[in-house]
A = this chain, B = another copy of it.
Amino acid sequence: MIIVMKSGASRADIDRVCGKVEARGLKTHLSEGEDRTVIGVIGHDPFSVKDAFTHDPSVEEVVRITSADTVVRLGNGLTIGGDEVVLMAGPCSVEGGEMLLETARAVRDGGGHILRGGAFKPRTSPYAFQGLGREGLRHLAEARRQTGLPVITEVMTPSEVETVAEVADIVQIGARNMQNFDLLREVGRHPRPVMLKRGLSNTIEEWLLSAEYVLSQGNYNVILCERGIRTFETMTRNTLDIACVPLLEELSHLPVIIDPSHGTGRWSLVGACARAAIAAGADGVMIEVHPRPDEALSDGPQSLTPQNFAALVPQLRRVAAAVGKRLADPVRADTADAAVAG
């Protein structure tokens, strides 16, 4: 947050505003220009600052800390966080090379832009399928080579960051690791873009502070992903917090992706929530697609078939247009090699 003082603001005015900021437990950093002074506000809970200073007679305006939104650019030129809406899709888990390729082709042909798929899977039970691990990463690399789709996949522990980032165009931090601070610092030291999922029961403030763990290490390519929060309601797996989209737009400069598959846990609700996400202003959606959901090793009930995914994309295109955005262009196969270079 930056507080821009009015051009005629006196030293006493500046000191007074700084004092008010510091009284809230935040730090200040002055930038005194020829015409006016800008007070940088360091710390969290920017909403409180905004509310408190908007009407101060010597304050011109209160703005987010960057003048422009963060736009994450992948190796094949795809951008996340600008005017284009991106569709991430694929299976919950990489279950094998064949099924991944089949799904990846369906995702691309249906209009998806990024392939998702878990190689390392955080599973509640130690007896459940734990993912194919490094073999899964190889399948992802091959799927990218054959389809040109950039790849997003999860990393679960600091010692695997380098390995995962060799294959992934975007490294995902899962909901259960949102406050795994050593892991956050480790991906912060690596240049690969990071998508940080919100924890099941974490507040938006905690989420932004976890993003700061990554940013503070020098990696500014951070994407936020809302995937539903834990509430008392049991008919849906989680409760999708749609209001976080405009709220994060006010609070942060980072792109926001919505995951309606985990957000609802029911495939029949995914389409409506994906449309809602884009109508609310999200920079993209992440959707689980599986060629045979009934046979999926994980999360079958929330996976779309390729047919359902392909039928949804035109709906999303129309909603994007209704709110002044557009879906990103289809991926070209010849961009495959460039994908991970970003």
Contacts and interface: CB of A to CB of B under 8 A. Distances in A.
Nearest to A180: B180
Given A126-B213, A231-B239, A281-B272, A156 B182 contact: yes
- In which size bucket is the chain A interface? 35 or more
B203 A200 contact: no
A132 interface: no
Contact of A127 (B43, B158, B249, B266): B43
B127 A42 contact: yes
A310 interface: no
B231 A236 contact: no
Interface in A256-274: 260, 263-264, 266, 268-269, 271-273
A56 interface: no
A30 interface: no
A44 interface: yes
Nearest to A122: B181
Interface stretch (A3-11, A33-41, A143-151, A314-322): A314-322
Contacts of A315: 322-323
A246 B233 contact: no
A231 B229 contact: yes
A176 interface: yes
Contact of A157 (B182, B247, B273, B276): B182
A276 B177 CA distance: 29
Contacts of A243: 236, 239-240, 260, 263-264, 269, 272-273
A66 interface: no
Interface string A292-332: 00000000000000000000000100110111000000000
A288 to B, nearest CB: 15
Contact of A158 (B157, B232, B281): B157
Interface stretch (A78-86, A110-118, A204-212): A204-212
Interface of A: 27, 42-44, 47, 122-127, 156-159, 176-177, 179-183, 200-201, 203-206, 209-210, 212-213, 216, 229-236, 239-243, 245-247, 249-250, 260, 263-264, 266, 268-269, 271-273, 275-281, 315, 318-319, 321-323
8 contacts: A124-B206, A126-B212, A203-B233, A234-B234, A246-B268, A246-B271, A276-B279, A276-B280
